[in-house]
Structure 1
Amino acid sequence: MRGDCLWLCEMEEEAIDFQVVEGADPRRVTEDLMNQSFPSHEGPLWRARLVRGAAGEDCPPEEVRASFPHTSHLVLGNHHGIADGTSNVRTYNLLLRILNDVIAGRPIDDQEQLGEMVVQEEFKAMVSAKLRELQKDPENLQRLVEEKEKAMTSVPLLLQCHPSLEGTEVKTKLIFEELDEDTTRRFFHRCKKEGVSVGSAFTALINGATIDLAKRAGRTDETFTLQEVHTLNLRRFLSGDASKHLGIHSTLFAHAVEAPAAWRESFWDYARTLHRSFHTKLKQDGHLLHRCLVQLTKPAYPTSSLSLKLPPPTDDYLSSNMQDLDALLPYAAGEHAQAARVVRGASNFSRFSGYFVHTFRKRLSCSHCFSSHIIAEDTAKALIRTIFDSLRGLV
């Protein structure tokens, strides 16, 4: 960053941060990459590790395992300043295409542009237009700013029950859970029958699991309101074909709706309420409103403050739902190399809990990235266990 402007440039001398690791735990290698900083002034802003011969790790789809008996794990990490989840998945897809072409001996056209780096100018114009609209009603804008400032001082429900750990290493850890194909199909069918999206139902499950842990810690509230933060793919809002846009084209969208303490007894009613609220606010430009309010309330941190203690989290969690990755990974089923599983995640220092959800090869999965210096690993595991046990109980 130079002031408020993001600068991108080519390296004078290309550096490749790639290593082959033998017999390691892929999850530990992933965590290691998530907790390393990047030399942002010199580069590279990405790194890769090929984990071979990992004990206990297997290829989940039986039909793939029969034809491709050798399993390796490619762990790719990058600075979030150069790519979002969609950019990364597109990169994985094109890597598989090139890998299969190389193995097959097909020529590679290195003049073909596989993507285009595009900045957020169109989205910035949308935000500016929304801000001008809000400024026409100063009283309402002031009310919205005050509500946002109040939310910025809130304490996440889990941290009200389980105070932050003191004196532990600042680190992001990862827990991964995956459904089988049949349970995924039945869950999707039930969501459709109940008139809610899979994303809304899964959000309701995250909220319910959080409420359960609060109740176990002694909370007796009849209702709870959790502060959700969802990532949105901006490409869906841009004009023209944005499918090849690389870089950062995502934004955050804050959402909160009251949930009953006895959420299991009325789960689908609660999920429908959440679904209607989320999509109504989205249709009312809630993502633009969120960006405007962030700009109006964001404290001015000097660059030197990045090395200081991070502010405490105020949101209950962040959710990134990329839905069906099969549509974004058409080269996953190559003739010589295939992708059997995709695990997403991100460093999660200030937002202490993040859920990365998608479907791949007809299996719903979730990575829970959590700040182990804020919540204990047992608590994080209990959340994931409650989410998936509850899901299986619904279908």
Structure 2
Amino acid sequence: MEEEAVDFQVEEEADPRRVMEDLMSQSFASHDGPLWRARLVRGAAGEDCPLEEVRASFPHTSHLILGNHHGIADGTSNVRTYNLLLKILNDVIAGRPIDDQEQLGEMVSDDEFRAMVSAKLIELEEDPENLQRLVEEKKRVKKSVPLLLQCYPSLEGTEMKTEVLFEELDEDTTRRFFQRCKKEGVSVGSAFTALVNGATIDLAKKAGRTDDTFTLNESHALDVRRFLSGDASKHLGLHITVLHHAVEAPAAWRESFWAYARTLHRSLHAKLSEDGHLLESCIIEASQTPSAADKATSAFPPPFEDSVCTNMRNLDVLCPDVVGEHVQATRILRGASNHNLAHFFHTFRGRFLYSCCFSAHILPGDTAKALVRSIFDNLRSFL
């Protein structure tokens, strides 16, 4: 940018969730910038601080909502940036000097990952019949209608706008959930995905579905940095890919939940070990035609996934500087402008934090709320 533009506003006593939803509904000036914006929502003394030991020394709570174009950053970039912002803020308040010349991160292209995809595609092209089978299979999956949308269609004319639902577990419940997952031999991400699927099945049964089994399509966001050579921990930018997955679930899933969660866990990790993170990109490239690649459209295709899951695990690893002497972060929630149904979850400062992003023009708000309520009611019942 020839002239730096900052899109920052302070709002008094606003609802942070509504501010977040408003930011998600606003487009970015892609050619001119800026490709990020921020809103500071001032809170009242003692408001909403979940940590009692912090509340005594830090009685004033505010909410910082940071939004950016997804083309320039992913969740890891955003969380690292937030950590650096807090570090600088504490240094400024403390009067410590700031070195403006120090580079705090590296904007890196996805060239290495694209090369991995190209190498995998060359390998797949050695068996054209199998590659064509994979392409046709993906076409069939993308024509499927998510189970909840079959059972709970949204009303015509509903506004196309992302809405957000939040939930969190306290430290004790978080610890017990993680311990139970470890005891049962499943990852937290697999167990939570199984809970999402189970709640989806229950809502379908409530709507009258009588199937004995259900196969639900999942999309899992993956951090590409874990597959790159060398130290990619400081890579900023967009470095994610998607792993699609589906496994059969019994209608009576609750009676054998942990067995179902183990089946899902094994299947998901087997797909990952078989280069599933590369396969999706390869199929997209193999499916492209010159006309399709050149055609630009603003219309969103109807969703085919029953769920999109993005699990960033323990954010404390990416945020070592949030416990400052002048400013502390007590809660971090993530989300993205979304036209299907996406589940964002991670832990931060010992608590499991969750956001559900959806658009009511796709899924009715009451249905989304019932789904989230069912997920967490079931989670607590399995502890």
1:180 aligns with 2:170: yes
In the other structure, the counterpart of 2:132 is 142
Q: 1:378 aligns with which of 363, 366, 375?
A: 366
Q: 1:115 aligns with which of 105, 108, 113?
A: 105
Q: 2:228 aligns with which of 209, 220, 238?
A: 238
Question: Sequence identity of aligned pairs in percent?
Answer: 73
* Counterpart amino acid of residue 376 in structure 1: P
In the other structure, the counterpart of 2:346 is 358
Task: Output the CA distance in 2 between the equivalents of 1:224 and 1:366.
Answer: 25
Q: Deviations over 1:164-187 (max 9, x none)?
A: 331011100000000000000000
In the other structure, the counterpart of 1:83 is 73
Correspondence 1:212-231 to 2 at 5 A: 212-231=202-221
Cα deviation for residue 317 of structure 1 reads 1.6
Say if 1:24 and 1:54, in contact at 8 Å, map to a contact too: no
Q: What is the aligned-residue RMSD (CA, Å)? A: 1.3
Say if 1:175 and 1:367, in contact at 8 Å, map to a contact too: yes
Task: Output the CA distance in 1 between the equivalents of 2:296 and 2:264.
Answer: 40
Say if 2:46 and 2:55, in contact at 8 Å, map to a contact too: no
**SS class of match (1:256):** strand
Task: Output the CA distance in 2 between the equivalents of 1:128 and 1:107.
Answer: 46
1:369 aligns with 2:357: yes
Task: Output the CA distance in 1 between the equivalents of 2:344 and 2:301.
Answer: 23
Provide the aligned length of Structure 1 versus Structure 2.
381
Task: Output the CA distance in 1 between the equivalents of 2:45 and 2:251.
Answer: 42
Q: 1:67 aligns with which of 50, 57, 65?
A: 57
Cα deviation for residue 297 of structure 1 reads 2.6
Give the structure-2-normalised TM-score. Answer: 0.97
Give the structure-1-normalised TM-score. Answer: 0.95
* Counterpart amino acid of residue 156 in structure 2: E
Task: Output the CA distance in 2 between the equivalents of 1:254 and 1:232.
Answer: 10
Cα deviation for residue 152 of structure 1 reads 1.1
1:334 aligns with 2:345: no
* Counterpart amino acid of residue 317 in structure 2: A
1:17 aligns with 2:11: no
Task: Output the CA distance in 1 between the equivalents of 2:45 and 2:35.
Answer: 30
Q: Deviations over 1:365-390 (max 9, x none)?
A: 11000011111111010111000000
Task: Output the CA distance in 2 between the equivalents of 1:375 and 1:56.
Answer: 35
Correspondence 1:286-305 to 2 at 5 A: 286-298=276-288, 300=292, 304-305=296-297
Task: Output the CA distance in 2 between the equivalents of 1:237 and 1:19.
Answer: 38
Say if 1:172 and 1:370, in contact at 8 Å, map to a contact too: yes
Q: Using the TM superposition, name which of 49-58 and 142-151 deviates more.
A: 49-58
* Counterpart amino acid of residue 17 in structure 1: D
Q: Using the TM superposition, name which of 48-57 and 33-42 deviates more.
A: 48-57
Task: Output the CA distance in 1 between the equivalents of 2:62 and 2:322.
Answer: 14
In the other structure, the counterpart of 2:39 is 49
* Counterpart amino acid of residue 294 in structure 1: I
Q: Deviations over 1:313-352 (max 9, x none)?
A: 1111211000000111001101110000001000002xx1
Gaps of 5+ in 2: none
**SS class of match (1:31):** helix
Cα deviation for residue 310 of structure 1 reads 2.0
**SS class of match (1:315):** coil
Task: Output the CA distance in 2 between the equivalents of 1:158 and 1:298.
Answer: 29
In the other structure, the counterpart of 2:86 is 96
Say if 2:220 and 2:242, in contact at 8 Å, map to a contact too: yes
* Counterpart amino acid of residue 277 in structure 2: H
**SS class of match (2:232):** coil
**SS class of match (2:60):** coil
Say if 1:21 and 1:52, in contact at 8 Å, map to a contact too: yes
Q: Deviations over 1:251-309 (max 9, x none)?
A: 11100000111111000000000000000110000010111112223572656522xx3
Task: Output the CA distance in 2 between the equivalents of 1:49 and 1:291.
Answer: 35
**SS class of match (1:43):** coil
1:393 aligns with 2:359: no
* Counterpart amino acid of residue 230 in structure 2: G
Task: Output the CA distance in 1 between the equivalents of 2:169 and 2:74.
Answer: 25
Q: Using the TM superposition, name which of 296-305 and 357-366 deviates more.
A: 296-305
Say if 1:24 and 1:55, in contact at 8 Å, map to a contact too: no
Gaps of 5+ in 1: 1-10
* Counterpart amino acid of residue 244 in structure 2: A
**SS class of match (1:281):** helix
In the other structure, the counterpart of 2:117 is 127
